[in-house]
Amino acid sequence: MWIKGKIYLRGLEEACVSFDRRIKEIRKECRPDLKLPSDSYVFPAGVDMHVHLRGLELSYKETIASGTSEAVYGGIGVVVDMPNTVPIINSVETIRLRLSELGNYSRCDYGIYSGVTQDKGVAKMPIAGFKVFPEDLERDIQWILESPMVKVLHPEIPMSLRPGRHNRRLWQELASLYLVRGNFHVTHTTSLDTIKLAKRMGFSTDFTPHHLLVPGETDCLSKVNPPIRGKSERNSLLIALTEADAVASDHAPHSVKEKSFPIELCPPGIAAVSFTLPFIFTLALRGAITLGRAVELISTNPSRILGIPAGEIAVGNLANFVIIRRERWRYSTTFSKMTHTPLDGFPLDATVYATIVEGKVAYQDGNVFPVRGSNVFDKSGRT
């Protein structure tokens, strides 16, 4: 299949791309099967390296189908899921269970992290890597620390998890970085200081839009881990747009009932997997960052950190595209079970018109389609 239009290669160019599940050929001229509208632009689909799709016994919060529908509605082609489900994903058996659930229901490509474990068989499984909390380091996980696989660090030291939100200070985030070495990626950094320190220590970083935009932790909807910081840290995080490697959503839905508990009791988490890509492209359309930087943050860099063939429109890569139009709208979730977020109503200029996953239309103009994504970490597999 050939498409023709304004396509992001080294910049936006009038070009033709041929693809099936992978990108086969790129050239200047062709007779297209699908000519795109003149006001649309084709970019590599987003890669979100930090989501909680729930499912399994937590399906009352979100299902794989509802979470990945929300992802493709937001232009995301690959999601990488965290292991804190019920049951927790940290054994060969639970990894098989989780991959089978994702294989049946995911509407975009996917990967999973394992929690830390003594089950060394998990390293031979087709996973993205490991999620590590600093308190995990109190156990014997040397073999994981030495593994070449990527480890995603939740940067808060154990004492910050004790009751009392006021305990969760920024220095605890910084301190946690000194506990690890090796192939680590520091996720949801909340300040420029964390990003700078992580860089000095050779780690890659991401930040979330909510740590940048939500004006303080005021209710259950804005309660999140790590917490939303004060105004000066939030303002400093603006520099993350040029300094961080990637942006991630940390999509973490809970049921309406759970989020209606008093703030001391309600579970932390904001569900906005569909916000990240339109937000980053909105910044580019408004001239705050370049288009190239937007593509790096949302697609190219997360793909490079994860080592997957995505994130760039290049021959041999997955045929995962997002088609964007410049159109003003106000954000809300649409397919997620989580219907309220603190980002609701945020004005955006970039609209996702369609998302293509491995050559198939997964989302277009308000509709999701039952496309089946695949495990991008399965080297033996179908793709």
Binding residues for Zn ion restricted to 248-267, rule: CB under 5 A: 250
Helix 92-105 / helix 64-73 crossing angle, nearest 10 deg: 60
End-to-end Cα, the chain, rounded Å: 17
Rg for the chain, CA atoms, rounded: 20
Instruction: Tell me the backbone φ, ψ of residue 295, rounded to 5 degrees.
Output: -65, -40
Residue among 250, 344, 349, 378 flagged as catalytic: 250
250 among known catalytic residues? yes
Q: Which stretch binds Zn ion (CB under 5 A): 171-179, 237-245, 247-255, 282-290?
A: 247-255
Q: What is the DSSP letter of 106?
A: -
Q: Is residue 81 a contact point for Zn ion (CB under 5 A)? A: no
Closest residue to Zn ion, based on beta-carbon distance: 250
Choice between 66 and 374, CB closer to Zn ion:
66
- Comparing CA positions, the residue from 25, 12, 11 lying closest to residue 2 is 25
Choice between 206 and 250, CB closer to Zn ion:
250
Q: How many residues bind Zn ion (CB under 5 A)?
A: 1
Q: How far apart are CA 161 and CA 261, in angstroms?
A: 19
Closest contact distance (angstroms) between CB of 81 and Zn ion is 10
Contact 131, 154 (CB under 8 A): yes
Q: How far apart are CA 111 and CA 277, in angstroms?
A: 19
Choice between 6 and 52, CB closer to Zn ion:
52
Closest contact distance (angstroms) between CB of 222 and Zn ion is 15
Q: Which stretch binds Zn ion (CB under 5 A): 116-124, 246-254, 270-278, 292-300?
A: 246-254
Closest contact distance (angstroms) between CB of 381 and Zn ion is 26
Choice between 80 and 298, CB closer to Zn ion:
80
Helices (H), the chain: 64-73, 92-105, 142-146, 170-177, 192-200, 209-213, 231-236, 240-243, 256-259, 276-285, 291-295, 301-306
Closest contact distance (angstroms) between CB of 343 and Zn ion is 16
Choice between 48 and 250, CB closer to Zn ion:
250
- SS3 category, 381: coil
Closest contact distance (angstroms) between CB of 155 and Zn ion is 11
Catalytic positions, written as ranges: 250
Binding residues (CB under 5 A) for Zn ion: these are: 250
